Amino acid sequence: MGKRILITGGAGFIGSWLADLLLDDGHHVRVLDLLAPQVHGGEGTRPAYLAQDVELIVGDVRDPDVVRRALDGVDGVYHLAASVGVGQSMYEIAGYTSINNLGTAVLLEALAERPVERLVVASSMSIYGEGMYEDTQGRRFPGYRRSRAALQRGEWELRGRDGSPWSPVPTDESKQPDLSSVYALSKFDQERLCLMVGEAYGIPTTALRFFNVYGPRQALSNPYTGVLAIFAARLLNGNAPSIFEDGRQRRDFVNVRDVSRACRLAYDSVSAAGEVINVGSGNAYTILEIARRLADAVGRPVEPEVTGRYRVGDIRHCVADIAFAERAIGYRPAIGIDEGLAELVEWLATASAVDRVVEASAELHRRGLTL
């Protein structure tokens, strides 16, 4: 018999894919979503991609009455509601802290009154800061935060005290957080609050640290969303993707279908309770490579603009070690980058986007958040 599942933020990119999976499994899906204009446009209407069988409650996760109504009769919760974006979080400090931190606290107070059988919360790879590295002797170290002086000199890579280069290696869940942005701090707060309160009230809870999620339904007009969506918005408007630093920074790009499947696996896994788990592809790609591959796939092979500038809060390299995800929940990514980009491009042919990258970059520069 199907269960009643609530997804906060479920009308968004990842949540809508998760809702599709849950419906396919025979569950009743309820979504609580603010339909924020930056993500959904100014109309405030139900997204066309959100399945008609989804029960949608339009409301704010910070509103206790709305949250209690959304939780009425549900068996489990996926908490995905959050403001997303490193750069914007550095000046909309109160807004990010309110939605991400306070919103989570309001949800948890309601769950403390009426516990559910399962809670899965979306965390982020951003809490790691720099990933793990290996020196020329094969010794592993957590990456350090690069100095402003080094960045102003264009010294992008991490090096040892003797000047020898460090090489990025996969980052596992044991790495200590290094919270280099307001967004990262808020995501760490979300995961710790959920795990703490879940343990106190007997709610099995799992935090999933998503890496760079991409795929159809991304908010293309949001200049602070995932980098592939930002590049797509530029290309759809006849503009070259704009890249910070030298473009050789490495990231882990994971398809939204794999991420939504990881969410399902985590809910059903008894051994995942109380754990934090990386959800990525386990593969590293440079930002420059990804920009070029997307441009070619879209059929607009323009050379990306490499700015040589740095954005406060950015890190150099981070790629997921997903060995624990396989052990804990049986997760293995199924969609490679070529297949994923092909599906994204097919969707882009039906999508439109307002390119707000220039104005977003200007705002960051005006505030001294780019060098």
Reported as a single tens digit per residue, the pLDDT across 166-214 is: 999 999 999 999 999 999 999 999 999 999 999 999 999 999 999 999 9
Using CA atoms, how far apart are residues 185 and 177, in angstroms rounded to an integer?
9
72-112 pLDDT, tens digit each: 999 999 999 999 988 899 999 999 999 999 999 999 999 99
pLDDT at 218 over 80: yes
pLDDT, position 226: 78
What's the CA gap between 175 and 56, in Å, rounded? 38
- pLDDT 10s digits, 296-309: 998 888 899 999 99
pLDDT of residue 223: 73
What pLDDT score was predicted for residue 6? 98
* pTM for the whole structure: 0.95
Reply yes or no on whether the pLDDT at 237 is more than 90: no
Q: Single out the catalytic residue among 96, 128, 183, 267.
A: 183
Per-residue pLDDT, 43: 77
- The set of residues, in sequence order, having a beta carbon less than 8 Å from that of 121 and lying 6+ positions away, is 78, 79, 104, 190, 191, 194, 205, 206, 207, 208
Compute the average pLDDT of residues 150-179: 95
Q: How confident is the model at residue 352 (pLDDT cuts 50, 70, 90)?
A: confident
Q: Which tokens hold the place of 268?
A: 């059903």
pLDDT the model gives residue 353: 73
Q: How confident is the model at residue 369 (pLDDT cuts 50, 70, 90)?
A: confident
In the CATH scheme, what is the homologous superfamily, with its name and number, of domain 4-366? Answer: NAD(P)-binding Rossmann-like Domain (3.40.50.720)
In this prediction, residue 351 carries a pLDDT of 81
Evaluate if residue 356 carries a pLDDT over 80: no
Residue 181 · residue 313 · CB < 8 Å = yes
Cβ neighbors of 95 (< 8 A, separation 6 or more) are 83
Residue 221 has pLDDT above 80, yes or no: no
The answer to whether 183 is a known catalytic residue is yes
pLDDT value of residue 68: 98
Residue 332's pLDDT is what? Answer: 97
- Pairing mode of beta strands 140-142, 132-134: antiparallel
Residue spans per domain, the chain: 4-366
Closest CA to 124 of 93, 96, 98, 148: 96
Place 368 in a pLDDT band, splitting at 50, 70 and 90: confident
